[in-house]
Amino acid sequence: REILKCGRFDLKLDGLPLVMGILNVTPDSFSDGGRYQGLEFALSRAEEMIADGVDMIDVGGESTRPGSPSVPALEELQRVMPALYALRELGKPLSVDTCKPEVMREAILAGADMINDINAFRAPGALEAVIDSDCGLCVMHMQGTPQHMQEQPVYQDVVREVIEFLRERVDTMVAAGIERARICVDPGFGFGKTIEHNYALLRHLGQIRQELALPVLAGLSRKSMIGAVIGKPVEQRLAGSLAGALASVAHGARIVRVHDVAETVDALKVWRAATAD
Ligand SMILES: Cn1cnc2c(O)nc(N)nc21
């Protein structure tokens, strides 16, 4: 499939892999240390990512790092909506990272081009919130909830189970009337997985893409699956994250969700030059 329908934009998937920049508007985001709370920081960060060549920006008002508690809908709205209004004039596809139907609804009304739901639109009302729009939809696998997902992740066959979960969610969404051209899937690195589970999923991204016949979005940036392999803290994971992004793309991912936009854009350009047939 060559196009991902994302609201105002049709994202072309046959060129350079797309870079989704992370914009946390949370006070406890795991890598910015809350540096980008506040609207002026969000705006300047977004402009910086656009200057760095980002293809879309993912705005998140609720930290999804392991152990993080859920945030009330009103609180999440108060964080996300001002950023959305400010950023939507920048002319770049905007994704909103949320699990809450009420946030999805408001975000879509405010012009969000994609809803990125780590909970795969399972919340009551989530499908209804997105069905009558044309925004893109990222469907991600998670075992458990962010609060407890890393306590003891267990699978019989993590690749098989993640594929079957995503298949069921996508089938449910399509049966509800959502067109496939709006959907991308994501194995959810770090969301209820051990390091080994994460690398098994990374190695089998091609199988996920093949079996679901949908674009794959991958988010490894600065995560513990990187840190565990290089033994470095979160602020020293750039090289590892770039390698992770390239590995994802080599295994078929078409969108990578990252913190370090300029570096990832450069890495992807060199990768593309080295692999274009
Ligand atoms: C919000 N968020 C954090 N990590 C993520 C990942 O790997 N994928 C997606 N879709 N969202 C994520």
User: How much is the pLDDT for 30?
Assistant: 39
Lining residues, ligand 1, CB within 6 Å: 60, 64, 97, 116, 118, 138, 140, 186, 188-189, 217, 219, 257
pLDDT at residue 33 tops 70: no
How far is ligand 1, taken at its centre, from the CA of residue 267, in Å? 20
Sign of CA pseudo-dihedral 60, 10, 90, 268: positive
Q: Which of 25, 62, 116, 208 to mutate to test the pocket of ligand 1 (most atoms within 8 A of CB)?
A: 116
Q: Give the pLDDT confidence of 144-154 residue by residue, as tens digits.
A: 999 999 999 99
Which pTM does this prediction carry? 0.96
Rounded to the nearest whole angstrom, what is the distance from the C-alpha of residue 277 to the centroid of ligand 1? 31
98 CA distance to ligand 1 middle (Å): 10
Q: Check: CB of residue 7 under 8 Å from CB of residue 135.
A: yes
From CA 244, how far away is CA 197, in angstroms rounded? Answer: 15
Q: How far is the CA of 184 from the centre of ligand 1 (A)?
A: 12
Residue nearest to atom 6 of ligand 1 (CA): 219
> Which residues lie below 8 Å from residue 109, measured CB to CB, with a gap of 6+?
none
Mean pLDDT of 249-276: 96
Region for 120 from its dihedrals, namely left if φ exceeds 0, alpha if ψ lies in -120 to 50, beta otherwise: left
CA separation, residue 87 to residues 41, 44, 66, 107, 258 (Å): 12, 10, 28, 12, 18
Task: Compute the radius of gyration of the chain from its Cα atoms.
Answer: 17
Structure ipTM: 0.99
Give the chain's length.
Answer: 277
pLDDT the model gives residue 35 = 44
Q: Could you tell which of 59, 140, 237 is best to mutate to test the pocket of ligand 1, judged by most ligand atoms within 8 Å of the CB?
A: 140
Whether residue 257 lies in the annotated active site: yes
DSSP codes, the chain? --EEEETTEEEE-SSSPEEEEEEE-STT-TTTTTTT-SHHHHHHHHHHHHHTT-SEEEEESS--STTPPP--HHHHHHHHHHHHHHHGGG-S-EEEE---HHHHHHHHHTT-SEEEETTTT-STTHHHHHHTS--EEEEE--SS-TTTTTS----SSHHHHHHHHHHHHHHHHHHTT--GGGEEEE--TTSS--HHHHHHHHHTHHHHHHHHTS-BEE--TT-HHHHHHHT--GGG-HHHHHHHHHHHHHTT-SEEEES-HHHHHHHHHHHHHHH--
- pLDDT on residue 28: 64
- State the residue for tokens 């905007």: 94
Above 80 in pLDDT, residue 206? Answer: yes
Averaged pLDDT, 243-267: 98
Spacing, Cα 26 to ligand 1 middle (Å): 14
Q: Does the annotation count 223 as an active-site position?
A: yes
CA distance 32 to 37: 9
The one catalytic residue in 45, 182, 223, 254 is: 223
What pLDDT is stored for residue 1 in this prediction?
66
Label residue 27 by pLDDT band (50, 70, 90). confident
The CA distance from 51 to 48, in Å, is 5
Per-residue pLDDT, averaged over 60-75, amounts to: 92
What is the average per-residue pLDDT within 224-237?
98
State yes or no: pLDDT of 219 exceeds 60.
yes
Spatial strand order of the sheet with 56-60 comes to 183-186, 136-140, 114-117, 94-97, 56-60, 18-24, 255-258, 217-218
